[in-house]
Chain A
């Protein structure tokens, strides 16, 4: 027999007479607030009375709100609190498990409310195109590959060095990883920040020109050293530097690497060509602090520098990649200078080189353990720690052909080579397992907790156990494999491969129980995503149920993995070479040869193009691109690395120029979709569609 059960009200003893809403129990109130009330409205509600005040500061409420609005972020935050080795970016591509059985005490330390508002800010920044950008001249030659996680960014180049940058300093534990700032600060390339919004950009340029005019008469101040760099001081030093740049810049300052660069390009001024159009605050090297680089006479070697084969899709097809064949490199090795950057918000803190002495074509970062692996031609493969300065790379010997791809996770590296093998290297013990018997060169590899996947040039996918036992061969693919991903969709584990024939196929991972079971052979894929007509260059996952693909057929597509249907197609003017997503922000970042786009991932109905929020034109080929939910990192063929950071606070962006231009910012900033005409000369930067 049922008895009347009365659930206690959320207000406890504070229930007021006549206030009917206060008799509702906590779980109903939480459900109501999480699912139906706008989070910003909760502020007003919390100011009504004590009962609501305590309800509105309930961590469960904000945890629920974060989960609702930012599901992927919520998952990662939980995993992180549980001490799982997940990084912001990599966890997207190597999901551990969608099921989180979180211990409540581990999650208590999370400030859900703060996280929610931080995520909202970041999302608004993406939508409105607010970001800070650092353009760093890091390499003397094309940046071929880049990888980053929570803490580190590593770039690799055909100049034979890896560069390590410490990202997001606030995430590093202060005691162990505070870098030793013993050398003078040296600018190498530009560093600036600003609010980029299409309507106001012209104003900003005007204002900064005005500022230049004004300050041209003032005496230049000395660049503040790292120790006394409070932000405001840095700003003054920086803006002085900036404003003096046109006068003193080119002839007097820049004796070292600028010269070498100009020389090296054999008449073509790489420096001029490589300037990002968006980097208006280009800072030349301060003369007094410059360290001369010993430069040996350039050795004239022509490289088809830095374009991974996947980019070209079908390597036989001549594409615009031929435009970058005239890259000349120095005789290796060259001593590279130490470069340091300002300590500012979440932007990189310092960077140091790792000399490898071979042309790096691929790299992989194990962010959690601070390890990087890099591969190059003729079987060159190394690994190194990233946290130490002047780290000496350790060679991993075994491959006899070019190393085409590496992937690293959990102190293990897997490498693919044109010698028809893939190898799994255990960095702890130094031992390695050979995955042989491939019919042709191995193009792509991937490592998960239990399996390794290899994809060859002739389209064959193999699934291996980590100990080297082959479990599954799929021979149905056409063309060479250009990407491998792993996802857990509706409790089934899939491997997704993309090929140069335009197909994307999904294969369920079977784990036979019995030991003596035979290798499973198949010719038919479990899921086929049809739609691309040209080679697929990049595939990425967004969370667990969306796959993004960029193809030479000039489209980027969004696929729903639950039903295998194409959700939307973004058409562009040129082949999509790289693409990545910003997860919960529902933004798509993609590059087409010289252009970089940030676009919304909106409509469910197919064939509806997303709205392009940002369009950045480069003068050189974008040679690599990666993004996570706050950063977009791209490399170009002249050795520059651009870091766009969408997690900036507006307050931090206030420079002198912004203050002056503030009326324009405030009036136009609120409507990102408004159709205010773009500022004349700069209209090419930002293209917006009318709604």
Chain B
């Protein structure tokens, strides 16, 4: 009988307890659990995730624990895609608050979600970053993401020319 809680060790050497249900929302942990049936006393090492980020991930998992299985979700999205571009707005209020964080945190969660293979969270973070880009001019994007402009004016002129040719095509 597998225990109801799983312990994991994060990159900053903290051991965190999380419920089996939440742990299984991560495909990465899930496959590790399947590989080591019976050895579930041992803490699972997650060397790519810090405790701070993992707590955030667990928060998200707690809120979405009753969502339909991620596989179904993906299928649904695929179907929609055939008709029109995926709806990029974040509908869930809780999610909106969740993504209202510093970019550094968002990027870390995105990396963690990718590593832990939590599909819904990954999609949410991608959506959020995409929304941040939406409708912004290059200058605005630089400002928002703290990017320094290392392109020369000639580079930009050349790019606009090349893009102009393509754009006229459309």
With the chains together, A649 CA to B167 CA distance in Å?
11
Q: Is A565 an interface residue (CB 8 A)?
A: no
Among listed A28-36, A350-358, A465-473, A671-679, interface-contacting one: A28-36
Cross-chain contact A48 with B147 (CB below 8 angstroms): yes
List, in ascending order, chain B residues with CB within 8 A of A291's CB.
Answer: none
Contact with A68, one of B45, B81, B145 (Cβ below 8 angstroms): B81
Cross-chain contact B163 with A22 (CB below 8 angstroms): no
Q: Is B96 an interface residue (CB 8 A)?
A: no
Given A19-B146, A28-B114, CB of A45 within 8 Å of CB of B48? no
Given A16-B147, A21-B145, A41-B134, CB of A1 within 8 Å of CB of B45? yes
Cross-chain contact B141 with A48 (CB below 8 angstroms): yes
Among listed A117-125, A209-217, A430-438, A493-501, interface-contacting one: A117-125
With the chains together, A3 CA to B133 CA distance in Å?
34
CB-CB contacts below 8 Å: B30-61 with A: 45-48
Interface hub of A43, A118, A602 (most chain B Cβ within 10 A): A43
CB-CB contacts below 8 Å: A609-668 with B: 649, 651
Given A46-B159, A48-B138, CB of A14 within 8 Å of CB of B150? yes
Cross-chain contact A32 with B126 (CB below 8 angstroms): yes
Cross-chain contact B148 with A36 (CB below 8 angstroms): no
Contact with A19, one of B47, B135, B147 (Cβ below 8 angstroms): B147
List, in ascending order, chain A residues with CB within 8 A of B138's CB.
Answer: 44-45, 47-48
Cross-chain contact A37 with B133 (CB below 8 angstroms): yes
Cross-chain contact A28 with B47 (CB below 8 angstroms): no
Q: Is A114 an interface residue (CB 8 A)?
A: yes
Interface string of B120-146 (1 = CB under 8 A from A): 000000110110011111100110011
List, in ascending order, chain A residues with CB within 8 A of B163's CB.
Answer: 43, 46
Given A37-B133, A53-B155, CB of A5 within 8 Å of CB of B149? no
List, in ascending order, chain A residues with CB within 8 A of B73's CB.
Answer: none
List, in ascending order, chain A residues with CB within 8 A of B25's CB.
Answer: none
Given A36-B130, A41-B134, A124-B170, CB of A48 within 8 Å of CB of B142? yes
List, in ascending order, chain B residues with CB within 8 A of A28's CB.
Answer: 110-111, 114
Q: Is B168 an interface residue (CB 8 A)?
A: yes
Q: Is B156 an interface residue (CB 8 A)?
A: yes
Cross-chain contact B45 with A2 (CB below 8 angstroms): yes
With the chains together, A603 CA to B83 CA distance in Å?
8
Interface string of B77-94 (1 = CB under 8 A from A): 001011101101000000
With the chains together, A16 CA to B141 CA distance in Å?
15
With the chains together, A4 CA to B45 CA distance in Å?
10
With the chains together, A2 CA to B11 CA distance in Å?
11
Cross-chain contact B130 with A49 (CB below 8 angstroms): no
Contact with A49, one of B81, B133, B137, B148 (Cβ below 8 angstroms): B148
Cross-chain contact B88 with A4 (CB below 8 angstroms): no
List, in ascending order, chain B residues with CB within 8 A of A121's CB.
Answer: 169-170
Query: Nearest Cβ distance between residue A450 and chain B, in whole angstroms?
Result: 29
Cross-chain contact B88 with A20 (CB below 8 angstroms): no
Cross-chain contact B169 with A114 (CB below 8 angstroms): yes
Interface string of B92-122 (1 = CB under 8 A from A): 0000000000011011001100100000000
Q: Is B151 an interface residue (CB 8 A)?
A: yes
Cross-chain contact A3 with B47 (CB below 8 angstroms): yes
Q: Is A50 an interface residue (CB 8 A)?
A: yes
Contact with B83, one of A1, A45, A120, A586 (Cβ below 8 angstroms): A586
- The residue on A at minimum CB distance from B104 is A20
- The residue on B at minimum CB distance from A115 is B169
Given A4-B48, A24-B110, A41-B134, CB of A53 within 8 Å of CB of B159? yes
Cross-chain contact B103 with A20 (CB below 8 angstroms): yes
Q: Is A23 an interface residue (CB 8 A)?
A: yes
Cross-chain contact B141 with A44 (CB below 8 angstroms): yes
Q: Is A18 an interface residue (CB 8 A)?
A: yes
Cross-chain contact A649 with B134 (CB below 8 angstroms): no
With the chains together, A50 CA to B47 CA distance in Å?
31
Main SS at interface, chain A = helix
Contact with A602, one of B45, B83, B151, B166 (Cβ below 8 angstroms): B83
- The residue on A at minimum CB distance from B106 is A20
With the chains together, A16 CA to B169 CA distance in Å?
34
Query: Nearest Cβ distance between residue B74 and chain A, in whole angstroms?
Result: 11
Q: Is A516 an interface residue (CB 8 A)?
A: no
Cross-chain contact A41 with B133 (CB below 8 angstroms): yes
Q: Is A515 an interface residue (CB 8 A)?
A: no
Given A48-B147, A117-B166, CB of A36 within 8 Å of CB of B86? yes
Q: Is A604 an interface residue (CB 8 A)?
A: yes
Q: Is A113 an interface residue (CB 8 A)?
A: yes
Query: Nearest Cβ distance between residue B108 and chain A, in whole angstroms?
Result: 8
Given A4-B11, A117-B167, CB of A37 within 8 Å of CB of B130? yes
- The residue on A at minimum CB distance from B142 is A48
Q: Is A428 an interface residue (CB 8 A)?
A: no
With the chains together, A149 CA to B136 CA distance in Å?
42
List, in ascending order, chain A residues with CB within 8 A of B85's CB.
Answer: 38, 69
Query: Nearest Cβ distance between residue B120 and chain A, in whole angstroms?
Result: 14
Given A32-B126, A117-B167, A649-B169, CB of A41 within 8 Å of CB of B150? no
Cross-chain contact A21 with B107 (CB below 8 angstroms): yes
Cross-chain contact A50 with B150 (CB below 8 angstroms): yes
Cross-chain contact B137 with A44 (CB below 8 angstroms): yes
Cross-chain contact A114 with B147 (CB below 8 angstroms): no
Contact with A21, one of B129, B136, B151 (Cβ below 8 angstroms): B129
Given A37-B130, A41-B135, A49-B147, CB of A113 within 8 Å of CB of B166? yes
Query: Nearest Cβ distance between residue A42 and chain B, in whole angstroms?
Result: 9
- The residue on A at minimum CB distance from B115 is A5
List, in ascending order, chain B residues with CB within 8 A of A52's CB.
Answer: 147
With the chains together, A16 CA to B111 CA distance in Å?
18
Cross-chain contact B48 with A651 (CB below 8 angstroms): no
List, in ascending order, chain B residues with CB within 8 A of A3's CB.
Answer: 47
Q: List 21 A-B contacts (CB under 8 A).
A: A5-B48, A21-B129, A21-B145, A21-B147, A24-B111, A32-B130, A36-B86, A38-B134, A43-B163, A45-B138, A45-B141, A47-B138, A48-B151, A49-B151, A50-B150, A50-B155, A53-B151, A68-B81, A586-B83, A649-B168, A649-B169
**Residues of B at under 8 Å CB distance from A?**
11, 45-48, 79, 81-83, 85-86, 88, 103-104, 106-107, 110-111, 114, 126-127, 129-130, 133-138, 141-142, 145-151, 155-156, 159-160, 163, 166-170
Per CB-CB distance, the 5 closest pairs between chain A and chain B, nearest first, are A36-B130, A47-B138, A4-B47, A117-B170, A121-B170
Additional 8 contacts, C-beta under 8 A, given A21-B107, A44-B141: A3-B47, A28-B114, A36-B86, A36-B88, A41-B136, A48-B142, A117-B166, A117-B170
